[in-house]
Copies of this chain bind each other. A is one copy, B any other.
Amino acid sequence: MPKQKPTLFTSLSPALLQLYDVSNSVVVIIDVLRATSTIATALFNGAKAVIPVDSINRCIELGKQLDGITAGERDGKIADGLKYGNSPFEYPGEFIEGKTLVFTTTNGTRLLQMALDKGAKEIITGSFPNYSAVCDYLLQKNQNVILGCAAWKDRVNIEDMLFAGAVISKVKKAFTINCDSSHLAETIYKKGKKDLFGFMKKNNASHYHRLMGFGLEKDIRYCLTADVANVLPFYENGKLILK
């Protein structure tokens, strides 16, 4: 009898995560604009670790204790009391190498905390900048997977679904996928993959408008580019690190 394939599910919002058994799965935290893109970039550029925290106060406190860089956003802007924001361009090698980034965001770090609280077997972070690293790992690991979209304040968003679909299109043969959200994500990705930026624009993605309003087209374009920071952040002992 052939060995059964592991399962893959997509959770389109943190409010749906409870529907899936994270305790038996590798959970991929997806916050394309911009938390997980920035996490991959900081680590790719030599950060020692990224410590995701769910509150601004905790970020400031931990930053002091660890002599780390405090960063994060609320509603897409640098949060009051923190020094840096959520743009991958804030973390070039000459700045971030060897340093610890203490990081809080509206959606991505919150979802990571939820997955942790629910006892996720393993947590990694995914984004277009580390697309291949994520796919290669999931294929090699051969365990159940939950693609967890961070969304925007629990509302489903286009860019996280696009990334989930991109992963599915590459790994699907290795998994049993009985999950409409996954099939929808793949269909959306296939439709948009030739020009992800154009697809976001054409579909009036709310995050496209929000970031364009802040003059951040460069960030959007970078965060939709595959493999420009192709490392795999693992969550271990409270930190995202490379292994």
Chain A positions within 8 Å of B, measured between CB atoms, are 12-13, 15-16, 18-19, 152-158, 161, 177-181, 183-184, 187-188, 191, 203-207, 209
Q: For A16, what are the chain B residues with a Cβ–Cβ distance below 8 Å?
A: 13, 15-16, 154-156
**Alpha-carbon distance between A161 and B156 when the two chains are bound, in angstroms:** 13
Contact, CB under 8 Å: B155 / A181: yes
Number of chain copies forming the complex = 2
Which of A153, A156, A158, A183 has the most C-beta atoms of chain B within 10 angstroms of its own C-beta? A156
Q: Which of B12, B15, B19, B184 contacts A188 (CB 8 A)?
A: B184
Ordered by A's residue number, 18 sampled pairs between the chains whose C-beta atoms are within 8 Å are A12-B12, A13-B16, A15-B15, A15-B16, A15-B18, A16-B155, A19-B154, A155-B180, A158-B184, A161-B184, A178-B204, A178-B209, A179-B206, A180-B203, A183-B204, A184-B188, A187-B203, A188-B188
Q: For A157, what are the chain B residues with a Cβ–Cβ distance below 8 Å?
A: 180
**Alpha-carbon distance between A98 and B191 when the two chains are bound, in angstroms:** 48
Contact, CB under 8 Å: A177 / B204: yes
Query: Which residue on chain B has the smallest CB distance to residue A183?
Result: B203
Q: How far is the CB of A195 from chain B (nearest CB, A)?
A: 14
Contact, CB under 8 Å: B154 / A183: no
Q: For A191, what are the chain B residues with a Cβ–Cβ distance below 8 Å?
A: 187, 191
**Alpha-carbon distance between A207 and B205 when the two chains are bound, in angstroms:** 28
Q: For A179, what are the chain B residues with a Cβ–Cβ distance below 8 Å?
A: 155, 206
Q: For A184, what are the chain B residues with a Cβ–Cβ distance below 8 Å?
A: 156, 158, 161, 184, 188, 203
Q: How far is the CB of A200 from chain B (nearest CB, A)?
A: 10
Contact, CB under 8 Å: B204 / A155: no
Q: How far is the CB of A38 from chain B (nearest CB, A)?
A: 21
Q: How far is the CB of A209 from chain B (nearest CB, A)?
A: 8
Q: How far is the CB of A10 from chain B (nearest CB, A)?
A: 9
Q: For A205, what are the chain B residues with a Cβ–Cβ distance below 8 Å?
A: 180, 183
Q: How far is the CB of A69 from chain B (nearest CB, A)?
A: 31
Contact, CB under 8 Å: B161 / A19: no
Q: How far is the CB of A197 from chain B (nearest CB, A)?
A: 15
Q: Which of B152, B154, B180, B209 contacts A156 (CB 8 A)?
A: B180
**Alpha-carbon distance between A177 and B16 when the two chains are bound, in angstroms:** 23
**Alpha-carbon distance between A179 and B194 when the two chains are bound, in angstroms:** 23
